[in-house]
């Protein structure tokens, strides 16, 4: 997304924390866990809090009568508007909003992610921009045994069970982002 793209949030509306470098893009296309196409099957494997990243993923769980602990949505799928039924379902109970441009992680989205993880009930976060990369800090911040589920375009839902090993793998990926990685770690410090 170029700086003059009309869909890009105003720079004054958020504080940039990390930017995805071009050389890491292809590596992030490799799923961090097994891929499943049926939310009902995934629910059998989930034992602990569920964090969903993506409108279609969140929609599938809501349609299976399961509300995620934290759901991050942006009203888009594969860079296109989601259809009206999906949008209406996933944003019906929006609790928090955050600004997070594509290929970036903002302090705003990290703050609301942490607020959602700390909440007693379920939290839906509507992201202005793009929520895709938030799966990474969600994996780092989520408690052991939590499930982070995100979409893999044209394949299904990736299920990541949070463990120390997976968290370390994701921390290594985030270390390779451009920006203030130390500030990210300071924000996430104390989540375990």
Q: Express each pLDDT in 97-131 by its tens digit.
A: 999 999 999 999 999 999 999 999 999 999 999 99
74 is in an annotated binding site: yes
Our count of domains for the chain comes to 1
Contact 164, 157 (CB under 8 A): no
Residue 169 in any domain: the answer is yes
**What mean pLDDT is reported for the chain?**
89
Tell whether residue 158 is among the known ligand binding residues: no
Per-residue tokens: 35: 């891929």
Range of the domain at 83: 32-188
Cα–Cα distance, 5 to 171 (Å, whole number)? 30
Domain for residue 129, yes or no? yes
Examine residue 70 and state whether it is found in any structural domain, yes or no.
Answer: yes
Helix, strand, coil percentages (3-state) for the chain, rounded to 5, are: 40, 25, 35
> Binding site annotation covers 22?
no
Is 5 annotated to bind a ligand? Reply is no
* Rounded-to-integer distance, Cα 134 and Cα 110, Å: 8
User: Whose CA is closest to 124, among 177, 31, 53?
Assistant: 53
131 is in an annotated binding site: yes
User: Does 56 appear as a known binding residue?
Assistant: yes
């Amino acid at each position: 997304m170029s700086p003059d793209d009309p869909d890009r949030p105003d720079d004054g509306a958020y504080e940039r924390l990390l930017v995805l470098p071009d050389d890491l893009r292809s590596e992030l296309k490799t799923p961090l866990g097994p891929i499943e196409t049926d939310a009902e099957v995934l629910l059998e494997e989930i034992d602990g809090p569920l964090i969903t990243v993506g409108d279609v993923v969140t929609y599938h769980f809501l349609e299976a009568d399961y509300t995620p602990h934290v759901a991050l949505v942006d009203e888009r799928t594969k860079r296109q508007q989601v259809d009206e039924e999906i949008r209406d379902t996933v944003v019906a109970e929006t609790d928090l909003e955050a600004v997070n441009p594509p290929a970036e992680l903002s302090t705003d989205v990290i703050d609301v992610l942490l607020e959602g993880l700390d909440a007693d009930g379920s939290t839906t976060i509507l992201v202005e921009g793009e929520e895709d990369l938030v799966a990474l800090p969600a994996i780092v911040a989520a408690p052991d045994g939590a499930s982070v589920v995100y979409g893999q375009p044209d394949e299904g839902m990736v299920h990541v069970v949070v463990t120390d090993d997976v968290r370390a793998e994701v921390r290594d990926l985030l270390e390779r982002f451009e920006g203030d990685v130390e500030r990210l770690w300071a924000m996430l410090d104390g989540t375990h």
